[in-house]
Amino acid sequence: MSHRSAATTDASVKGKGSSENGSDGHIPNKNLNGLAPQEKVELKKKVTLLRGISIIIGTIIGAGIFISPKGILKHSGSVGMSLVIWSVCGVLSLFGALSYAELGTSIKKSGGHYTYIREAFGPQMAFMSVWAEVMAIRPSATAVISLAFGRYILEPIFMPCDVPELAVKLITAIGITAIMSLNSLSVSWTARLQILLTISKLVAISLIIVPGMFQLFKGETQNFENAFSVENIKITSLPLAFYSGMYAYAGWFYLNFVIEEVDNPKRTVPLAICISMAIVTIAYVLTNVAYYTVMTAEELLASESVAVTFADKLMGNFSRVVPIFVALSCLGSMNGGLFAVSRLFYVASREGHLPDILSMIHIRRHTPLPAVFVLHPLSMIILFFGDIYSLLNFLSFVRWLNIGIAVSGLIYLRYTRPKMPRPFKAPLFMPVLFSFTCFFMVFLSLYSDPFNTGIGFAIFLTGIPAYYIFIVFNAKPKWLQKLCASVSRSMQILLEVVPSEH
């Protein structure tokens, strides 16, 4: 962890605190082993409207809509109520996304939740949020979505047998490494891949929606009879259905992680959010309608992979293609998530809350190479040795806690800084309703799964002593200062990175 104050951090990041001989451990931007960058070393504005849409859609739509949308059906109690919850969760997610659009266009810094929490509530709360991200959430989330990719990319090869676990983990490790390498090499190619994978997701969903609508127009409506039957609806279970729905839409916030790289953010961010959320909500609702045209509620609940069951009933051997589309969907979530989260680490380092090396940029490729690859060893350890699904159980808890705090910060800033420029301003009821929703889900998860969410809350709270140990009490022995400077200098030379000229 960095031991500098925020002021010192800003100075060193901007290159103002580095001496000609690199006495602080930084190598001046103008020279790195004789390699002089030809232009300003910074992250470029390469995220256009189309790329912004692909980031949001590509990270929201993962494996869940293809594999198991049964959580909402199980807890909602009826087909009709499940479709209502899918729609309501889409609208509420739009409220949250528009709240983030206001934050992103008024606070023009990358970093998402971290940046907004820091702006509203100060550095300690912001540090606690990024601490939880680094320690458990991001490595486990990366490992889980990557495992889904590994399993489904191999499934057509091993059909009808089960895929060996070791093979899944090996192909998963290759997938993680490949995505991180691409993100390190080129922002443009990363964005192009994200667009391609987003198109593949929408094609896969269309392969479900179009035949399903054809069935519906043919009169296959028997599974919608008594769609709103109240026999199986339990009021106490509806919040759990709602929780599952909000989890399915999670990902709309990732564009805010890369605001500094968005071209014309005042226009691009709100427009990308509105277009993306409309597409995802319509796609989710119509996909579930399509499922019910060929499956009863009981069949859907019994299915291990709903999209495969659907394809088996309507497409015959073509169903073998479905796992490939699921794998590509997971790959898109991996790519978009890593692209965004690396910027979170980059910004937190720039603010002095993570090691300095993470705020450095490759001198030619202009990518935050160290911030991209910092997740690699942690993800590999969790992939091969960790209890991934136990970690994942509290991922949602800390995620919604961070988002709830960030959106509450919007409301707080409305009153404490009323004259702050706000190119886009969401109606106040949106952040109020959405922040209430976030805290409701946090307390619901504490009630429904106190053990795992309690662990998540404990990890979040360990950020308090960590903040004082690594940030506040910054006195270090001289030998440790020299060691840190030596390691930093060696890493800069090895990775060919320099502090960003932000």
pLDDT score at 280 = 94
Could you tell me which of 306, 302, 246, 307 has the C-alpha nearest to residue 277?
246
Determine whether 318 is exposed, middle or buried from the number of CB atoms within 10 Å of its CB (0-12, 13-18, 19+).
Answer: exposed
* Angstrom distance (rounded) from CA 323 to CA 330: 10
How confident is the model over 181-206, as pLDDT tens digits?
999 888 888 888 999 999 988 888 99
- The DSSP result for 442-484, as a single string, is HHHHHHH-HHHHHHHHHHHHTHHHHHIIIIIS----HHHHHHH
CB count within 10 Å of CB 480 equals 11
Could you tell me which of 202, 229, 220 has the C-alpha nearest to residue 77?
229
pLDDT score at 489 = 82
Q: What is the mean pLDDT of residues 376-386?
A: 83
Q: Which fold has domain 45-387?
A: Amino acid/polyamine transporter I (1.20.1740)
Peptide bond into 160 cis (omega under 30): yes
The answer to whether residue 279 scores a pLDDT higher than 70 is yes
Domain boundaries, the chain: 45-387
Q: Which two tokens stand for residue 367?
A: 């990518």
The structure tokens 């609702």 sit at 285
pLDDT score at 501 = 64
pLDDT score at 393 = 62
Q: What are phi and psi of 20, to 5 degrees?
A: -65, -35
The answer to whether residue 6 scores a pLDDT higher than 60 is no
**3-state DSSP call for residue 361?**
strand
Spatial contact of 220 and 79, defined as CB atoms under 8 Å apart: no
Q: Which two tokens stand for residue 409?
A: 């910060």
Could you tell me which of 467, 493, 470 has the C-alpha nearest to residue 480?
470
**3-state DSSP call for residue 278?**
helix
Higher pLDDT, 394 or 359: 359
Q: What percent of the chain has pLDDT over 90?
A: 27
Q: Which two tokens stand for residue 127?
A: 């540090």
pLDDT score at 10 = 41
CA dihedral 300, 304, 308, 310 (to 10 degrees): -10
Q: Out of 12-16, 350-354, 429-433, which region has the weakest mean confidence (pLDDT)?
A: 12-16
pLDDT score at 19 = 38
Q: What are phi and psi of 200, to 5 degrees?
A: -65, -35
Higher pLDDT, 142 or 414: 414
- Look up residue 264 and give its DSSP letter: S
Instruction: Report the interhelical angle of 238-249 vs 265-294 (nearest 10°).
Output: 130
How confident is the model over 285-296, as pLDDT tens digits?
999 999 999 888
**Model's pTM, two decimal places?**
0.83
pLDDT score at 24 = 45
Query: Buried (b) or exposed (e) across 2-17, using 16+ Cβ within 10 A?
Result: bbbeeeebbebbebeb
pLDDT score at 415 = 92
Q: Mean pLDDT across the chain, nearest whole number?
A: 82
* Angstrom distance (rounded) from CA 276 to CA 136: 28
The answer to whether residue 471 scores a pLDDT higher than 60 is yes
Q: Rounded to 5 degrees, what angle do the CA atoms 61, 66, 67 make?
A: 120
Amino acid identity of residue 90, one-letter, is G
The structure tokens 């605001």 sit at 259
Q: Rounded to 5 degrees, what angle do the CA atoms 416, 422, 424 make?
A: 135
Q: What percent of the chain has pLDDT over 70?
A: 87
Q: What is the mean pLDDT of residues 75-88?
A: 88
The answer to whether residue 144 scores a pLDDT higher than 50 is yes
Confidence of residue 91 (pLDDT cuts 50, 70, 90): very high
How confident is the model over 207-253, as pLDDT tens digits?
889 999 998 888 888 878 877 776 767 776 777 788 888 888 988 99
**What Å distances lie between residue 2 and 418, 475, 488, 496, CA to CA?**
33, 11, 11, 21
Amino acid identity of residue 59, one-letter, is T
Q: Which two tokens stand for residue 40?
A: 């300003």
* Angstrom distance (rounded) from CA 328 to CA 334: 10
Higher pLDDT, 392 or 138: 138
